[in-house]
């Protein structure tokens, strides 16, 4: 019943959005215009083999040119049939022609898929999955002007970060999944909600800039979710609600900027949630607070109002903020390569090298190595006795031989292996995420999948 109710709401609003959203796509000159679907087959091959996608290892599939997909209605530009891969747009474009129910990238039934550094425009769905089996990572993409959803995933445990998702009928939708991390995205000017989660649990939505949408965040039939550090602004005259919670309970919602020019801040149905992080951390900033509580005073010079913001009898922000919260900076999406990309846990090798390639506007020499972590816990080797720590000619390298420098850091192989061995069986694909900051404090983040084995023969894929 929950799934049917959620699907009915989605279908109704999608049809409304499709009736109001039209495009005028100018297809100009392009080297690659496709009228048939491109497939990444389960055996690793690419069909047709003339498609502008290359893979040297069967793991990373890189676009080598822009693709204009003039595919029929209900068709996809790229269909993925292989698990455990990375689709790297290399800052190219995947352009549709707004055909009805068309998809830019279809991930139906897939596991452990990463999509990065790609512009996806003018489909019905930018990235789509009717169902999935495992994790997905979508980062560093520009997903814009799609007539239904920018990103629409069903059944994945998803990490969606550092994307620009704008001018779609709806921004990001994740349904029937758990442990989703949606952060550092710019989600703007959607005709429907910026972020929608349905029938999901244990989610984190944080550090997003969600502006000028019909509504900001919608959680339907969700629980145990955390929503914090978002800038949520609804400015359209027809904007309805900043947050909608329908049968969504045990959620924690704090350090968000709830900015609504007209109408109501919230719609809540059968939901009981926590709206603050206690004192003195505080709750949320509400743009209509002073109008509702004109006699409120500051509490103990804390920057917190002394009067709770009451949403309904079961939901209240006990420590509303007097000034807008400063949202978490949106991370720069980095391309990450790891060598070796097959990790034999019995190997006696000393290092694992990780190469971080930033967008061309960023200088990898400005990466602060002391801020770097692998999977949030493992620090790189920074002992100055090693030349690769102190010598820029060794740690600034063109690893991919594409004329763009990467920042190389090395990790103690035994430490990485011990952490992995505690968490996965063998053999196994493992997603490793590198995070860090530039010297000016700007964060960056990138993910790479490696293959882990436990054998004396050293079998597996090597780079």
Is 328 within the bounds of a domain? no
Does one domain contain both 312 and 337?
no
Does one domain contain both 268 and 338?
no
Name the band, by pLDDT with cuts 50, 70 and 90, for residue 235. low
**Cα(396)–Cα(407) distance, integer angstroms:** 5
**Cα(199)–Cα(128) distance, integer angstroms:** 18
What is the extent of the structural domain holding 232? 2-317
- Can you give the pLDDT at residue 443? 92
Length of the chain: 463
Is 286 within the bounds of a domain? yes
Q: Are 229 and 203 within 8 A, CB to CB?
A: no
Question: Could you report the per-residue pLDDT of 341-388, keeping only the tens digit for each?
Answer: 888 877 778 999 999 999 877 899 999 999 999 988 999 999 999 999
Does one domain contain both 267 and 360?
no
Does one domain contain both 246 and 161?
yes
**Cα(246)–Cα(269) distance, integer angstroms:** 5
Final residue before a domain boundary, out of 275, 290, 317: 317
Does one domain contain both 233 and 379?
no
Say yes or no to pLDDT of 214 above 90: no
The reported pTM is 0.72
Does one domain contain both 363 and 226?
no
- How many other CB atoms are there within 10 angstroms of residue 338's CB atom? 21
Does one domain contain both 255 and 302?
yes
- Can you give the pLDDT at residue 53? 96
Final residue before a domain boundary, out of 266, 284, 317: 317
Is 303 within the bounds of a domain? yes
Is 323 within the bounds of a domain? no
CATH code where residue 406 lies: 2.60.40
Name the band, by pLDDT with cuts 50, 70 and 90, for residue 215. confident
Final residue before a domain boundary, out of 317, 342, 368: 317
**Cα(259)–Cα(213) distance, integer angstroms:** 11
CA 56 to chain centre: 26
Is 325 within the bounds of a domain? no
- Can you give the pLDDT at residue 427? 56
Does one domain contain both 283 and 378?
no
Question: Could you report the per-residue pLDDT of 65-84, keeping only the tens digit for each?
Answer: 999 999 889 899 999 999 99
Does one domain contain both 218 and 361?
no
Is 392 within the bounds of a domain? yes
Does one domain contain both 284 and 357?
no
Q: Are 203 and 197 within 8 A, CB to CB?
A: yes
Does one domain contain both 226 and 358?
no
**Cα(301)–Cα(161) distance, integer angstroms:** 35
Query: Total domain count for the chain?
Result: 2
**Cα(417)–Cα(454) distance, integer angstroms:** 10
Name the band, by pLDDT with cuts 50, 70 and 90, for residue 28. very low
Is 59 within the bounds of a domain? yes
Does one domain contain both 75 and 214?
yes
Is 22 within the bounds of a domain? yes
């Amino acid at each position: 019943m929950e799934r049917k109710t959620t699907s009915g709401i989605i279908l109704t609003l999608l049809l409304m959005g499709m009736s109001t959203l039209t495009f005028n796509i100018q297809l100009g000159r392009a080297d690659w215009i496709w009228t048939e679907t491109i497939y990444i087959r389960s055996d690793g091959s690419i069909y047709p083999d003339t498609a502008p996608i290359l893979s040297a290892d069967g793991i990373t599939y890189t676009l080598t040119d822009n693709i204009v997909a003039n595919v029929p209605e209900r068709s996809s530009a790229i269909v993925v049939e292989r698990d455990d891969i990375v689709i790297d747009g290399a800052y190219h474009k995947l352009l549709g022609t707004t055909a009805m129910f068309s998809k830019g990238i279809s991930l139906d039934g897939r596991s452990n898929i990463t999509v990065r550094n790609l512009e996806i425009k003018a489909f019905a769905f930018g990235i789509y999955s009717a169902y999935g089996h495992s994790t997905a990572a979508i980062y560093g993409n520009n997903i814009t002007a799609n007539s239904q959803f920018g990103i629409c995933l069903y059944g994945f445990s998803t990490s969606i970060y550092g994307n620009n998702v704008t001018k779609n009928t709806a921004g990001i939708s994740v349904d029937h999944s758990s442990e989703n991390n949606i952060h550092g995205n710019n989600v703007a000017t959607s005709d429907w909600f910026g972020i929608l989660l349905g029938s999901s649990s244990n989610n984190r939505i944080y550090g997003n800039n969600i502006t000028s949408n019909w509504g900001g965040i919608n959680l339907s039939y969700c629980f145990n979710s955390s929503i914090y550090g978002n800038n949520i602004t609804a400015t359209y005259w027809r904007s309805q609600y900043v947050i909608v919670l329908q049968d969504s309970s045990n959620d924690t919602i704090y350090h968000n900027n709830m900015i609504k020019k007209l109408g109501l801040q919230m719609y809540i149905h059968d939901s009981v949630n926590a709206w603050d992080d206690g004192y003195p951390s505080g709750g949320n900033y509400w743009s209509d607070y002073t109008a509702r509580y004109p006699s409120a005073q500051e509490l103990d010079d804390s920057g917190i109002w002394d009067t709770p913001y009451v949403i309904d009898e079961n939901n209240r922000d006990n420590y509303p903020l007097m000034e807008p919260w400063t949202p978490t900076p949106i991370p720069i999406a980095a391309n990450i390569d790891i060598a070796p990309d097959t990790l034999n846990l019995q190997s006696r090798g000393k290092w694992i090298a990780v190469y971080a390639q930033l967008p061309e506007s960023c200088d990898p020499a400005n990466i602060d190595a002391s801020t770097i972590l692998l999977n949030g816990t493992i620090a790189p080797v920074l002992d100055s006795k090693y030349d690769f720590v102190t010598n820029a000619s060794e740690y600034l390298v063109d690893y991919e031989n594409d004329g763009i420098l990467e920042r190389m850091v090395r990790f103690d192989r035994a430490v990485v292996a011990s952490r992995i061995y505690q968490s996965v069986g063998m053999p196994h694909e493992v997603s490793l995420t590198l995070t860090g900051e530039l010297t000016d404090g700007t964060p960056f983040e990138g993910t790479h999948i490696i293959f882990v084995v436990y054998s004396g023969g050293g079998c597996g894929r090597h780079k």
